[in-house]
Structure 1
Amino acid sequence: MKDARPRSRAKTAKKKNTEYIVEKKETLLVSLLSHLPHKSRNILKAVLKDRQVSVDGKPVTQFDYALVPGQRVEVSWTRAVPVQQPRELNIIFEDENIIVINKPAGLLTVATDKEKRKTAYSMLSDYVKKENSENKIFVIHRLDRETSGLLMFARNEKIKEQIQENWGSTVSQRTYVGVVEGRIEQPEGTISSWLTESKAFIVYSSQNPQSGKKAITHYKTLKANNTYTMLQINLETGRKHQIRVHMQDMKHPIIGDKKYGSSDNPLRRLGLHAQVLAFVHPSTGEPCRFETGIPEKFQQLFSA
C-alpha cells in the first residue's frame, strides 16, 4: 500500500532538528542538498560524518546511502560528543542491532592463534564498551584478512542468530570487485562446483556433487587489459574462499593470491574487495543497501 502521508518540505523542529519525508529514489547527500539548499555541501558532509543524520531513526554516515520514498530523514544540528571510532575501521552504519564497517585489507575479522587483539571484532568490541561496559559484538560473517570491504556485525546474540539462520532470505546481494591475472575471453559467466576444505585449510573444487558443498559464482568484466581483468563478482552461495577457488578454476587467479595459484602481486595484497552488501534489516524488515567505491589501487592497474 502506498504511503498515505502528505508530501512535505523540510521543516525545522523546536529542538534544532530538521526533518522531512523522502519523495523519490536518490542518495542521501543529494537529498540533503535538495531539501536544505541554504546549507553547503561541506556542512552537510560534516553532519553526516558526525552521525547527526538519521534515516527512519537510524544514524547513517554514508553520503551515498540509497533512499526510497516514504523514509523519514532527520538532521540534528546539535553535535553530540561522539565515542571515538577505532582509527583502523570505517564504520558506515550503526544502530542498536547491527554495525556495518568497511574493513581495510590486512585486518583479520576475528582472532587466530597468532593474532588475538588487532582484529575487527576486538576493535568493535572495545568501541561499543566505551558507551556501555556491558555492550557486546557478535560475528555474523567474515572476510579474509587480505580482502577489504563491507562486513556486518550484530550487537546482540538474537540478531546474530536471526541473520545467520535466515541468511538466504535476509541477504539479497553480496557483490565483490576482483582483479584477476590475465585477460578473460568470456566477458561474463557463471562458475558452479562443489567445495571441500582439507585439514591444511585449503579449499578444493570438484564437479562431484558428493564432494563438499555446492558453490555458485557469477562474474562480469568491468575493465581489462593484456595483463589483468577487473571483475564484478556476485555470490549466489557464500562458501569459504569461494571466489578465490573459482577464479583458480578459470585459470585466472585473484592477483596476490599465492594460496590459489597467483604468481603476481602488484598491490601487495589480495585483489578482492567486498563492494556491495544488501539485506533486509533483521529488526525493522526494511531493505538496507551499502556500497563502497572500487579501491583506487585497483583502478590504477588499468589507468595506463
Structure 2
Amino acid sequence: MAIQTEALPESIPVPARSLANVVKILFKLQPAQVDGLLEQGYVAVNGRVKRQGWFRCDAGDEISVDLVPQAIVAPIKQTKRKQSSRTIEFLYDDDDISLVNKPANLLTVPTKHREAHTLLSLVQRRYQSKDRNAQAFCVHRLDRGVSGVLVIAKSLEMAERLRDQFADRKPHRKYVAIVAGVPKAPEGRLVNYLSTDADLNRILVADETQGEIAITNYKVQSALSDAAVLEVKLETGRRNQIRVQLAELGHPILGDPRYRPRQAAHWAWQFQRIALHAECLGLKHPRTGEPLFFETAWPQEFRDFVRTQRKQS
C-alpha cells in the first residue's frame, strides 16, 4: 500500500480547509475518489483516521492518504451505498452507551476489506449528527446474518469497562435459534474447544492447547415437524460459537451457509439470513453499575416460519 503524507500549507485559505477539499488539492484527486478514500478509512490527520469530509484542518496538520488502487478506481459500489439508508432501532441511549437492535445481513464492524457501511458506522453517523466529534466503540459482535441486541460504547473508557464484563462472563446473553431436526435431549450444555482453519472456518479441536473453550447451553422451546426452536444461552462468546456447536450436535441453524449448509437448508426457510437472533442482553451499566436488561421480539421471519410449520403438523 502506498501511503503518502503531506503537511497542510498556510497558502490554502481557512474556508477551503475541509478535509475533503484538502485531500483533493494536496493529492490531485477527483471528488469521487476522495469520497471513496474517506469512506473506507484511508485518510488520517496527524495519525488519526478521519472519515468526515467536513472535518476542519489547520495549517501544519499532517494529512496521510493510503492510495490503494482499488479505492482510487472504484471508491464504493452503489449497491453498498444503499445500506446507509437503514435505520437502526435504539433500545436504550445515554451519554455513555447505547443498546441497539442489529438487523440481519449487516456487518457489526468492518472486516479486512474495510467495508464502509456497518452497524458501527451507522451508529456513529447518528452520534455525529448531534456531535461532530462523537465516536462509537464496538464491545462485542454478532455475525452478519444474525440479528439482535448489541451494546455500543461512546468512549474508550466505557468500552473497556464493558469488555471486562464480557471477559469475566458476566453479561446475560440469550438467543433464539431455529435448527434442523429436533435434538434428542430437551436441554444440554455443550462444551468444546474451537480453533480456526485456513479458510477462516471455526473447527472443533481436542483441548485448550489447540483452541479456546466454548460453552453453550440450549433448551428446546418448541419441537416442530422437522425443526426445533431453541433457547440458547452463552457462557463464552467465541466467533461463530453457537453455529459451530449446534452443527456439531447434528442440528445446524437453518439458513447457515457455512456449517453443514445442506442439512441447514429447509423448504420453508426461504429467508436470506441465518435463523439466529440475540433475543436478550443483560449487563451492568459501565459507569453507574445499574443492572440493565433488554429483550427484543422475534424477527418476523421466525414467526412466519413457526406459523407455517404448525399448519403443516
Q: Partners in 1 of 2:188 and 2:169 — Cα distance?
A: 25
Aligned-pair distance for 1:171?
A: 3.6
Aligned-pair distance for 1:179?
A: 0.6
Q: Partners in 2 of 1:86 and 1:190 — Cα distance?
A: 40
Question: Are the aligned partners of 2:180 and 2:253 in contact in 1 as well (CA < 8 Å)?
Answer: yes
Q: Partners in 1 of 2:113 and 2:189 — Cα distance?
A: 36
Aligned-pair distance for 1:300?
A: 2.3
Amino acid paired to 2:305:
L
Aligned-pair distance for 1:115?
A: 5.8
Question: Are the aligned partners of 1:163 and 1:170 in contact in 2 as well (CA < 8 Å)?
Answer: no
Aligned-pair distance for 1:225?
A: 1.3
Please give the secondary structure, in 1, of the residue aligned with 2:171. Answer: strand
Aligned-pair distance for 1:170?
A: 7.2
Q: How does 1:269-280 map to 2 (within 5 A)?
A: 269-280=273-284
Identity over aligned pairs, percent: 33
Indicate which of 290, 293, 299 corresponds to 1:289.
293
Name the residue aligned to 2:222. Answer: 223
Q: Partners in 2 of 1:183 and 1:165 — Cα distance?
A: 36
Normalising by structure 1, we get a TM-score of 0.69
Amino acid paired to 1:290:
F
Question: Relative to structure 2, which stretch is displaced further, 187-196 or 111-120?
Answer: 111-120
Aligned-pair distance for 1:110?
A: 0.9
Q: Partners in 2 of 1:273 and 1:209 — Cα distance?
A: 28
Size of the aligned set, in residue pairs, is 220
Aligned-pair distance for 1:199?
A: 2.9
Aligned-pair distance for 1:168?
A: 4.4
Please give the secondary structure, in 2, of the residue aligned with 1:260. Answer: coil
Question: Relative to structure 2, which stretch is displaced further, 159-168 or 253-262?
Answer: 159-168
Q: Partners in 1 of 2:171 and 2:122 — Cα distance?
A: 27
Q: Partners in 2 of 1:170 and 1:126 — Cα distance?
A: 30
- 4+ residue runs over 6 A deviation: none
Distance 1:95 1:86, change over 3 A: farther
Name the residue aligned to 1:152. Answer: 151
Aligned-pair distance for 1:169?
A: 4.5
Question: Are the aligned partners of 1:86 and 1:123 in contact in 2 as well (CA < 8 Å)?
Answer: no
Question: Are the aligned partners of 2:169 and 2:236 in contact in 1 as well (CA < 8 Å)?
Answer: no
Name the residue aligned to 1:302. Answer: 306
Task: Pick the structure with more helix per residue.
Answer: 2
Name the residue aligned to 2:139. Answer: 140
Question: Relative to structure 2, which stretch is displaced further, 137-146 or 86-95?
Answer: 86-95
RMSD across aligned C-alpha pairs, in angstroms? 1.7
Q: Partners in 1 of 2:210 and 2:247 — Cα distance?
A: 18
Q: How does 1:97-246 map to 2 (within 5 A)?
A: 97-114=96-113, 116-169=115-168, 171-246=170-245
Q: Partners in 2 of 1:283 and 1:130 — Cα distance?
A: 24
Please give the secondary structure, in 2, of the residue aligned with 1:302. Answer: helix
Name the residue aligned to 1:3. Answer: none
Give deviations 1:247-303, integer Å, cap 9, x for gaps.
111011011112100320512210000000000111011100000012232122222
